[in-house]
Amino acid sequence: MTTPAVAGPTVLAPAAAPRRRAASGARGDHQALHDAWEDRPGLGGWIRTVDHKRIGVRYAVTALTFLLIGGLEALALRTQLAVPDNDLLGHDAYNQLMTMHGTTMLLWFNTPMFAAFGNYLIPLQIGARDMAFPRLNALSYWIFLLSGLFVYTSFAVGEAPDGGWFAYTPLTSSVYSPGRNLDFWAIGITFLGISTTVGGINFIVTILRMRAPGMSLARLPIFGWTILTMSFMIIFALPAVTLAGALLEADRALGMHLFDPNGLGDPLLYQHLFWIWGHPEVYIVFIPATGIISTIIPTFARRPLAAHNLVIASVVATGFISFGLWVHHMFAAGLPFLVASFFSAASLVIAIPSGIQVLAWLTTLVEGRRPRLDPPLLFALGFIVTFVLGGFTGVMVAVVPFDQAITDSYFVVAHFHYVLIGGSVMPIMAGLYFWFPKVTGKATHPWLGRAAFAAIFVGFHVTFFPQHILGLMGMPRRVYTYGSDLGWDWLNLLSSIGAFVLAAGFVMVAVDLVLSWWRGDPAPDDPWGGETLEWALPSPPPPYNFAAAPVVTSPRPLWGEPEAGDGSAGDADGDSGGHGDVARATGHPAWDPVRVPVPTIERYEGEVLDEPPHGHHRAVLTSVLDATDVHVVTMPGPSTWPLALAAGVLALSTGVLLRSGLVVGLASAWIAWSFYRWHREAT
């Protein structure tokens, strides 16, 4: 069924395409496609769907719910710390909420939130009809959801994890934590790891094989580069934490003594395993955030991203270097000087790719049109200001003697909230506002988003800036209370007040998005004048995305090519020929992207794309580097088995938690049966 159709990108250029028209069409034009791709109505269709857009929205709603939960936990913590010697929360409640705040925010909100963006946007931006493995994609989501429910069941039974989100041994061994609290944690993160790992593999294959004809890797939109980098990082980093969680559970359930100093084990082994994942994890949630910013800023500035190729190189370099940083979480653990020096150097060097990106965003803004201050741009600007500050303290904590002075103090709490909220959550808010009209077809409220930004920006800095000073004043992390004689009172009170302002900002975002979705004004298909393919589609896009495969001849498919002859200028500005240099060379600084219609192809030597036989999902595969060598393939359709398999993993986790061999055996059999049925079920 596959046909090597075309020799190179030139063949896919508009002139060679059989027919030119917009990449999408009205529903009536594509009834057969609609019938093939639309889910059945009702609960059955909802459960069985493999539509990356529905799964993406589901991921987003679930992850944002975890943001809400993690945020409420944070408010409880800040309320407890607002005044000294507070007995609002006891140490037990505080330690559980603190542990679950960190765990929830990083693992069940932040990482899955980028799975949401990636799921929704990657197939649209690369001109594909779905992810490469649609059922695996559904499995990722169900496991994400069920693992979250599993961990949160611990609150219902009064045994929430309380060993800190890092769960250092031996505190988390069965000797010092005899309850089931840490079992929920260790089993839960191992369980969730399946979701994140298969999600990463799915993104990699999707990006490498499903790109539209002509979209060579050099023309992959920058958000795609960041998701690709994030996914490679996930599949290399995640096994470490899965191993840490599984070995911790083996210590607890089977008495393995892997981390027990009295049994020839070593607690530092656990710390290494945890941070080998834990540090890249920070970049796993930062890199795709930069992808959102690198998409939004050029769109608002009407100028292609400055130093485009250098930014992509920076993204990839950050991914590599981030694996050489983990020991900087352990500078106080008493490691040899040489080891500390190596990791210190790597921690410093990672400032360079970040510096390149920051300067690229700033110069894009300066060289572009004066931008309108809509919520996506406001959050992007808030990101730059906040992330830069977090980056400076990041360089400071890379310096070993300074790190040894302030590690595990509130200075570090301030630092990583600057890089996580500033560097990741603000871009997420920017992205939500930017793509909301595409996902829903509705416009957000004209000023509520701006007010939300103001509250989040001000609230954030009031909450976290004082924590730098508290750290320098000797306030350690993870304390549930402090004495009134220590001089920490008013800064803590200020920080707690800020937390409520910050929370109010997030509530405003939630209200805005929910109300706008429910009864907002209709939005145009392309409200911002975006450069990537999703803006050529109706809002919301049809279930099959593209009626015919778009043909891509530029890294900015909707902005067209620079004028003929300019492409040979050759500089660091990207393979499209450097618009900045074009502007200078022509003395014509007002470079304005021209919106071009996207050419499409519908037919390869008899393989018809938009008239699928038997209602099957049909999609286009292309070659890894050049996106030529087009194949048409039949994709797996909707299925119940991903959910069934995920439910089996939930039962397996519960069996391990209850130490029940019977449940473990039955669950394993069910997983094997689901796996078998999954593959038997017709596409």
Q: Say if residues 186 and 249 touch (Cβ distance below 8 Å).
A: yes
Closest separation between CB of residue 271 and another protein, Å? 8
Closest separation between CB of residue 362 and another protein, Å? 4
CA distances from 511 to 66, 184, 502, 514 (A): 16, 33, 14, 5
Closest separation between CB of residue 228 and another protein, Å? 22
Phi, psi of 667 (to 5 degrees): -65, -40
Of 13 and 373, nearer to another protein (C-beta) is: 373
Of 584 and 679, nearer to another protein (C-beta) is: 584
In whole angstroms, what is the distance from residue 500 CA to residue 455 CA? 10
In whole angstroms, what is the distance from residue 433 CA to residue 518 CA? 15
Closest separation between CB of residue 580 and another protein, Å? 5
Closest separation between CB of residue 306 and another protein, Å? 4
**Residue given tokens 């200075």 in the structure block:** 411
Of 9 and 304, nearer to another protein (C-beta) is: 304
Closest separation between CB of residue 416 and another protein, Å? 15
CA distances from 133 to 50, 80, 206, 617 (A): 9, 46, 8, 12
Closest separation between CB of residue 340 and another protein, Å? 8
In whole angstroms, what is the distance from residue 495 CA to residue 489 CA? 10
Closest separation between CB of residue 506 and another protein, Å? 24
In whole angstroms, what is the distance from residue 192 CA to residue 299 CA? 35
Closest by CA to 199, choosing from 281, 119, 289, 291, is: 119
Of 45 and 324, nearer to another protein (C-beta) is: 324
- The burial of 590, by beta-carbon neighbours within 10 Å (0-12 exposed, 13-18 middle, 19 or more buried), is given as exposed
In whole angstroms, what is the distance from residue 127 CA to residue 620 CA? 9
Of 589 and 613, nearer to another protein (C-beta) is: 589
466: left (phi over 0), alpha (psi -120 to 50) or beta: alpha
CA distances from 591 to 58, 357, 562, 582, 585 (A): 39, 22, 9, 8, 12
Of 72 and 348, nearer to another protein (C-beta) is: 348
Closest separation between CB of residue 243 and another protein, Å? 20
Of 39 and 408, nearer to another protein (C-beta) is: 408
In whole angstroms, what is the distance from residue 214 CA to residue 234 CA? 28
Closest separation between CB of residue 394 and another protein, Å? 10
Check the CA dihedral 603-605-611-617 and report its sign.
negative
Of 55 and 365, nearer to another protein (C-beta) is: 365
Phi, psi of 12 (to 5 degrees): -85, 0
Of 360 and 635, nearer to another protein (C-beta) is: 360
Of 563 and 571, nearer to another protein (C-beta) is: 571
Closest separation between CB of residue 77 and another protein, Å? 12
Which residues are within 8 A (CB) of 670 and not within 5 positions of it... i.e. 6 or more apart?
Answer: 644, 647, 648, 651
Of 572 and 647, nearer to another protein (C-beta) is: 572
Closest by CA to 619, choosing from 128, 55, 203, is: 128
